[in-house]
Amino acid sequence: MQIFDQKKNLEAFLKSVKIEGKTIGLVPTMGALHQGHLSLVSQSVSENDVTVVSIFVNPTQFNNPNDLDKYPRNFQADIDLLNEVSSEIIVFAPSVNEIYGKNVTSESYDFDGLDKVMEGEFRPRHFEGVGTIVETLLRVVGPNKAYFGEKDFQQLQIIKKIVALKNIGVEIIGCPIERETHGLAMSSRNERLTETTRLKAGFIYNVLETAKDKFGTESANDIKDWVETQFTKNETLDLEYFQIADEDTLTPIKRKQRNMKYRAFIAVYAEEVRLIDNLRLN
């Protein structure tokens, strides 16, 4: 395994990879790797000659400084896990200074409204931060394919938008959510939950599945009311939002229409840890 912390050294290495005509897959991460990340890494390893995994806790996408401070960081454990997938993986683990220099700020983008709802509404400038780091990584690595988990479905759509806006020649691949045995979507933040709460948080997925069952026969408003009532009765989990939206535009549903792909999106607090999830409804 080779680990780079400087853009210029990684670029020089990848230049020779490209000259040899090899394909490159990129898996951007903020570390604290779990099975969800490893499934993206395995997919990239099987589809590309070279896989680059970036590990960088990106400060500009955290609207809450406490969340940034508490974000889990396990660099050596991450390297060990990646080595189990393949010892050929290239890791890019830059410092904040290497990426941003003295100017730790994000770019501005026109996401065509994709950033105005759900995560964007509750986390001001979050997607500008995500866009800035993902665009930087895509430019440094120049991959053929880049892999992102569908747990952050809104992020995935926004990244596709940036690639189109900026005409970046890369294929963005969305990969299915990996879940813990009781249904909780895998996330680095799950590490911050106590074992009891982690088990109880399986409730989020149960609610999404029932919402999906109801979607065939009930109105979106009734489902929303039902979900809100379930969380009012739950003493461990606080609902931040539940929204049913069109999968492509992320526009919240008004009335169900044929031939549209709908998805339910949810954000919940458990012990001050913010958890998100989503599920395709039809």
Query: Contact positions toward ligand PAF, by CB under 6 A?
Result: 28-30, 58, 61, 130, 133-134, 152, 155
**Closest distance to ligand PAF from the beta carbon of 171 (Å):** 16
Q: Is 173 helix (H, G, I), strand (E, B) or coil?
A: strand
Kindly report each contact of residues 212-220 with a partner whose C-beta sits within 8 Å and lies 24 or more positions away, as own/partner. 212/264, 212/279, 212/280, 212/281, 215/244, 215/262, 215/264, 215/281, 215/282, 216/282, 219/256, 220/244, 220/253, 220/254, 220/255, 220/256
Q: How many C-beta neighbours within 10 Å does residue 89 have?
A: 21
Task: CB nearer to ligand PAF: give 185 or 223.
Answer: 185
Q: Is 145 helix (H, G, I), strand (E, B) or coil?
A: strand
Q: How many residues does the chain have?
A: 282
267, 276 contact by CB (below 8 A): yes
118, 250 contact by CB (below 8 A): yes
Q: Is 280 helix (H, G, I), strand (E, B) or coil?
A: strand
**DSSP codes of every residue in 87-98:** TT-EEE---HHH
**Closest distance to ligand PAF from the beta carbon of 54 (Å):** 7
Task: CB nearer to ligand PAF: give 55 or 279.
Answer: 55
The catalytic position among 34, 37, 126, 182 is 37
**Closest distance to ligand PAF from the beta carbon of 258 (Å):** 33
Q: Give strand pairing partners of 90.
A: 2, 52
**Closest distance to ligand PAF from the beta carbon of 168 (Å):** 15
The verdict on whether 126 is a catalytic residue reads no
Task: CB nearer to ligand PAF: give 211 or 268.
Answer: 268
**Closest distance to ligand PAF from the beta carbon of 129 (Å):** 8
Task: CB nearer to ligand PAF: give 55 or 227.
Answer: 55
Task: CB nearer to ligand PAF: give 63 or 282.
Answer: 63
User: Which residues are catalytically annotated?
Assistant: 37
